[in-house]
A and B are shown apart, each in its own frame.
Chain A
């Protein structure tokens, strides 16, 4: 494990004052009292941390201390008007990977979620990140925050990114752990990319999607899954009204989705945890004890409301590794 732990706000403040470069996650009251420095953070009280696996804390912060070999970090803030530059910025900064924290429910989050795959230089550099949230009972009614050590002003509207430069001898790579695959049910496609759905093409036949899900006894714990050339990409349903279906990430026009099933060949990632520099796990996996205990033992990090591996993902664990170029 690379320098990841739960610490008190006082301990985090001491690290910041010692000019450590930090990625932070925790409760709003703790993050908002930290001093200026080289850090970014976001709100969540939930964490994956060995050996407890599922940790809830309102009095400690989850901290990832960047290793000494990191050459340089650059913190940038983004809003809906300039988030499309994030891959361009990374490219300009050299051999970097980027950690992005977006506040749940913000316009910048929606903009990134809908459009990231169309951004210039998409996937040209590893972009990992997460959507900051709150406890489930207040996630829809109270704001979530991202924050940076540049001005220490929590924001419910701005995203903060840390572009992290590696030495030329190292590379970063993004991975996902997804317990789901496409099930054997109907092929579901959509005529428009959207996060709010009215109609769907079920095996090519157009019909109201909410009615279809009700009629087929859809289990909302199961995401819709698309096969991206071998990468299973989930989209979570977060609400069904009489005629509409609401999603926490978009479905894309012409991509084929199916309702998920648990991957029968699921295995724990084989990487050694020393190489995992950053990880984030969806709250949809966090609330399933078997998944955390069996498969996520090395995935220490915040529990989140959307995880980013190049683009927004759902109900997935993302992790970023750093290794030597051979």
Chain B
């Protein structure tokens, strides 16, 4: 295991926001991440308070990644996220 929960805590919210809003531009490996990113994208689109929605969704994304650090496909996706510079 390369990435841990503490690694995920270092991901800036700006990167999480970019990942959620541009999720289709990347090639993800982990099924739960693919489904969750689309769900979070829709959540942001539907909520009236966009800033609050983005904060919530970034937190949800990090929580999912932390729960999934044991899974190699999730590890690969975390590596990809860490390389993103919005």
List the interface of chain A (C-beta within 8 A of B).
117, 122-126, 171, 173-176, 226-231, 233, 252-255, 309-311, 325-326
- B10 CB → nearest A CB, Å: 21
Q: List 20 A-B contacts (CB under 8 A).
A: A124-B63, A124-B64, A125-B67, A174-B31, A226-B38, A228-B34, A229-B23, A229-B26, A229-B34, A229-B41, A230-B24, A230-B27, A231-B38, A254-B45, A254-B46, A255-B38, A309-B31, A310-B31, A310-B35, A326-B72
Residue from B27, B32, B67, B73 within 8 A of A310 (CB atoms):
B32
Say yes or no: A123 contacts B36, CB within 8 Å: yes
The CA of A29 and the CA of B71, in the complex, are separated in Å by 40
Say yes or no: B39 contacts A230, CB within 8 Å: no
Residue from A124, A173, A231, A254 within 8 A of B35 (CB atoms):
A231
Say yes or no: A228 contacts B67, CB within 8 Å: no
The CA of A229 and the CA of B33, in the complex, are separated in Å by 8
Q: Which residue of B lies closest to A168 (CB)?
A: B70
Cβ contacts under 8 Å, B37 to chain A:
228-229
- B65 CB → nearest A CB, Å: 11
The CA of A176 and the CA of B42, in the complex, are separated in Å by 22
Say yes or no: A326 contacts B71, CB within 8 Å: no
The CA of A309 and the CA of B31, in the complex, are separated in Å by 9
The CA of A176 and the CA of B39, in the complex, are separated in Å by 18
